[in-house]
Structures are given as structure tokens and as C-alpha cells.
Amino acid sequence: MRVRYSSIPVLVVAPHGLTLGGGCEMSMHADKVQAAAETYIGMVEFGVGLIPGGGGSKEFALRLSDSFREGDIELNLLKEKFLTIATAKVATSAHEAFDMGVFRMGIDEISINRSRLISDAKLAVLELANSGYTKPVQRTDIKVLGKAGLGMVYAGANSMYSGHYMSSHDKLISEKLGWVMCGGDLSAPSKVSEQYLLDLEREAFLSLCGEKKTLERIQSILTSGKPLRN
């Protein structure tokens, strides 16, 4: 967040190949992304028993809020964004990353020629600086759905668990992610700040780090490279 809200454009990211977890979160907080066409990007923390803890959960809630339009069925949009993280979805190209909401239309760009990626990114930095870069202001107007959204997330997780489509630990992780994206146990849809969501995200992430099954999943990835379903 200190990088995102600096007074100069210090963060133009040029991802390529596998850009997972923290790499994806860094890209989502960049002033601009200049991505190679072959960029496979996504937040895959669910696979090790965690939620995105580097601002990714917060940022998806923010972008969900920005996507709301008058007359929309907001729970459907929440479900779509929630499942992107909960299924550890990875874009198979930079173009698909726009569809997923990881890259932003009208801001982020793609370099088709991989050998031009760094020079294109350097040009983007110069353009930002020369156009009179203005320090962004932290958001305080992020709409979250509170109990209405939480009810959908909890009901969905419970039905998946009852149908043996997910484990009890998957259910817990889903509920933690829903808690962050819905802004906690608010009685009605409300507007909150980025810091409020970051505080929820940090608490959820650290609480999952203390879970035995999460530690087992992390150990499995580190020792065998294979995800553990426990």
C-alpha cells in the first residue's frame, strides 16, 4: 500500500509466465501493468489453506464495489469475484486476466512481443511521470454487502460441504474469505475504507496460518510440490 500510494509512479509491473499469489497481488496494486501476452496470473493461496494476504482479498472487494451498477443483482457479482479466488483460478493469458478482473481495462496493457516487454514498461513509466502524475488517495467509499453477502457465502459453503464437494477446512477458508469480501458482520450494505478491509484480511490470514491443516498443506507444497486435500 505504501508503494501504491507513493507520490511518484514507482510501480509499473511487467509480468510474464507464471505470476501467482504475491506476484498477482503486486500487479493488482501497480500504477500500471505492462504484461506479456503469455502471462498466467492468479491468486492460488486457497491451495495451501490460506486467503490472499498481500492486499489481494481487499483489492477484489474494491473492484467488486466499482463494478456495481444501479439495478444490478449485487450478490451475483459477489459470487463471481468470490469464486475467482476460492477456486484458485489462473488466467491462461494476459487477455483472460482482463476478463477475470485482475487487469484493468483502459489502464493496463499487453506486449505481444516478449522481447519488447521491458522497453514498453519503461515507456509507460516515462508517460506516467511526464503526464503530471498525481498521488492517488486511499479509498474510503468501498461498498460491501455485510450480512446479505455473508449469508450467501456461508450457505453456499455449507451446501458444498454437506454434498462432500469440499472438506471442513475448505469450508473454513471460504468463510474467512467471505468475511473479508463482505466487510465482516455488518447489518446492512455499507461503505468502508481500504484500511478497514486490510485489517480484516490480515486477521483472517494470520488466523488461518495457525490452523494445523493449513500448515500441513503448506508443508506438502514445500516438500512434494503437490497440493494436499485434507
From the list 154, 42, 19, 144, the residue with the least C-alpha distance to 88 is 42
For residue 90, what is the DSSP state?
B
Q: Which residues pair with 20 in a beta bridge?
A: 42
Does the domain spanning 12-224 belong to CATH 3.90.226.10?
A: yes
Torsions phi, psi for 39 (to 5 deg): -120, 125
Least confident of 8-12, 107-111, 191-195: 8-12
For residues 2 and 109, which has the higher predicted lDDT (pLDDT)?
Answer: 109
Least confident of 25-29, 73-77, 116-120, 151-155: 73-77
Strand 190-192 and strand 142-144: pairing?
antiparallel
Residue 178 main-chain phi, psi, to 5 deg: -60, -40
How far, in Å, CA of 46 to CA of 29, rounded? 20
Is 164 in contact with 144 (CB distance < 8 Å)? Answer: no
Does the pTM surpass 0.85? The reply is yes
Query: How does residue 4 score in pLDDT terms, banded at 50, 70 and 90?
Result: confident
Among the ranges given (1-10, 46-55, 58-67, 75-84), the one the predictor scored with the smallest mean pLDDT: 1-10
pLDDT higher than threshold 80 for residue 72: no
Question: Rounded to the nearest 5°, which phi and psi values hold at 18?
Answer: -75, 120
The answer to whether the beta carbons of residues 61 and 156 sit under 8 Å apart is: no
